[in-house]
Amino acid sequence: MFLIAFLGGIVTVLSPCILPVVPFLFARADRSAASVLMTLLGLTLTFAAVSSLAVVSSDWVVAANGIGRTIALVVLTLFALSLLSARVGHWLMLPLVALGNQLDPATRRLSGRWSGLWASLLIGVATGLLWAPCAGPILGIILTGAMLQGPSAQTSLLLLAYGLGSAVSLGVLIFAGRGLLARLKLSLPVTAWLRRGVGLAALLVAVSIATGSQNQLLAGTSSEGAATVEKGLLSGVPKVIDYVVTRARASAVPELSSQGAMPALSGATAWLNSPPLSQESLRGKVVLVDFWTFDCINCQHSIPHVNEWAKKYEKDGLVVIGVHTPEYPYERVIENVRKNVARLGLNYPIAIDNDYAIWRAFDNQYWPAHYLIDARGQIRYTHFGEGDYEGQEQVIRQLLDEARGQG
C-alpha cells in the first residue's frame, strides 16, 4: 500500500487540484537545488500532518487548521508581493539581515545560507497548509481507513508517502523548467518580467483561496484522467506484487500455525442467506471468512473463487462467511448489498458489517481479506488481496483433512 500511495502522489500532477500550488512552487525554481528541495519537503510534511489530523473530530483541530490557513495566506501573500516588487522583498529581508549582523562575522555566510533554506521551508509549509489535493481513489482509501480505525502511525506514513510522490513529480517539473530557462539564456529585463508574472499569479491564487473563489475556477475542470490512472494502479500493483510473492512462495509449504481464536461475529447489523452465526454454531467446521464490499474491484476478482470453494467443499464441511464491510456510503444500503449478492449468485451466509464491529474484531485492514479457521475455532491462515488461489485452496483441503481426522 505504501508503493500505491507513493505512485498515487506522483499521479496528482495530472489533477487540476495541483494548480493552486504551482505558482508558489515555480517561484522557487530560480533558487538553489537545496532551496527547492526544502520547499517540497515543507509541502510534504505539512500535508501529511494536516491530513492526519483531519480525521480527528475535535474542536481544537478545526480551530488550529483555520488559524494555520490564515497565517499561510499572509505568508504567501507577502511572498507574492516580494516577487512583484524588489523593494518589498528588500523590506521583508531586513529582519534576517539584522539578525545576521548580530552574529560573529565568521558565521554570517553560513547563517545567511541557512536563513534562505528556512525561508524556503516556510514557503513549503505555508503551501502545504493550503493544498487540498483531489481525493481520488487512492487518497480516498487512505482517509477512509483512517476514519474507520482512527489516526495511526501507519496512516501518517501512507499520507507521507503520498505527499512524497507529489513532491517528486512537482520537483521533476520544476527542475525541468529550470533547465529550459537556462538554455534560453534570457536577458535580465525578461527574467525580471517573468518573476513579476509569477508573483502576480501567486498573488491571484492567494486572493482566490482567501475568498473561496478557487472552487468556482476549478469547477469546470475534471480529475477523471488522474482517477483512471489511480484505479489502474489500485488494480495493477497488487496483481504484480501478488504474482511476485506467489512465484517466490510457489514451492513453500503454507504456514498453518495458530494465529489465535476466531473473533465473534455478533457485531453484524444483519444477515443475508442465513440466521446469525456464532463461534459455537461453527465449532467442528472449517470456516472461511471473506471481508469484501460489492464495489471493490479487487473483491470482484476474488469473489468467483470464493463462491466456487463454497459450492465445491460445502459437503466436506467448509462454511464460507462473507463479511460485507462498506467502503462507501451507498454500500451501507442493505438493499444494494442484497441486489449484488443475487447478481453474483452468492448463496453462502453474508454478515452485514455496517458498524465495522467484525472488521475491528479481526483487526482487519484490507478488501478482500481471507481468514481460514480450523474445526477447533483457531485462525490458521490469512491472505490479503487477490491472487494465490491455488495456495488458498490447498490450505482449505488440508484443514478439511485435519477436521476429518479429528472426527
Range of the domain at 19: 2-234
- Could you read off the pLDDT of 124-161 as tens digits, one per residue? 787 777 776 665 566 666 766 666 666 677 778 888 88
pLDDT value at position 384?
84
Mean pLDDT, rounded, for 273-289: 90
- Could you read off the pLDDT of 76-107 as tens digits, one per residue? 677 667 666 766 655 655 554 454 444 444 44
Q: Considering the domain boundaries, does residue 239 fall inside one?
A: no
pLDDT value at position 101?
47
Cell 532551496 belongs to residue: 35
- In b/e form, how buried is each residue of 248-286, taking b as 16+ CB within 10 angstroms? eeeeeeeeeeeeeebbebebbeeebeeeebeeeebeebb
* 327 Cβ contact partners less than 8 Å away, ≥ 6 residues apart: 141, 144, 293, 295, 296, 367
Cell 471481508 belongs to residue: 291
How many domains does the structure of the chain reveal?
2
Residue 394 has pLDDT above 80, yes or no: yes
Residue 306 has pLDDT above 90, yes or no: yes
Q: Considering the domain boundaries, does residue 245 fall inside one?
A: no
How confident is residue 323, by pLDDT bands cut at 50, 70 and 90? very high
Instruction: Kindly state whether residues 215 and 284 are assigned to the same domain.
Output: no
- Could you read off the pLDDT of 220-268 as tens digits, one per residue? 555 556 666 766 776 677 667 666 655 555 545 566 777 888 998 988 9
Instruction: Kindly state whether residues 189 and 70 are assigned to the same domain.
Output: yes
- Could you read off the pLDDT of 16-67 as tens digits, one per residue? 667 677 776 766 666 778 888 888 888 888 878 877 776 555 555 556 656 7
Round to whole Å and give the CA distance between 312 and 393: 10
What is the reported pTM? Answer: 0.51
pLDDT value at position 159?
81
Instruction: Kindly state whether residues 223 and 282 are assigned to the same domain.
Output: no
- 3-state DSSP assignment of residue 249: coil
- Could you read off the pLDDT of 364-378 as tens digits, one per residue? 878 889 999 998 999
Instruction: Kindly state whether residues 367 and 290 are assigned to the same domain.
Output: yes
Round to whole Å and give the CA distance between 175 and 26: 9
Residues in the chain: 407
- 3-state DSSP assignment of residue 102: coil
Residue 296 has pLDDT above 90, yes or no: no
Residue 113 has pLDDT above 60, yes or no: no
% of the chain surpassing 70 pLDDT? 62
DSSP letters for 318-333: EEEEEEE--SSGGGG-
Q: 104, exposed or middle or buried, with CB in 10 Å at 0-12, 13-18, 19+?
A: exposed
Mean pLDDT, rounded, for 6-14: 76
> Which grid cell sits at 91?
523590506
Higher pLDDT residue, 123 or 235?
123
Mean pLDDT score across all residues of the chain: 75
Round to whole Å and give the CA distance between 10 and 47: 14
Round to whole Å and give the CA distance between 70 and 130: 9
The CATH number of residue 380's host domain is 3.40.30.10
Q: Considering the domain boundaries, does residue 259 fall inside one?
A: no
Instruction: Kindly state whether residues 229 and 144 are assigned to the same domain.
Output: yes
pLDDT value at position 292?
93
Q: Considering the domain boundaries, does residue 262 fall inside one?
A: no
Instruction: Kindly state whether residues 147 and 42 are assigned to the same domain.
Output: yes
Mean pLDDT, rounded, for 161-180: 79
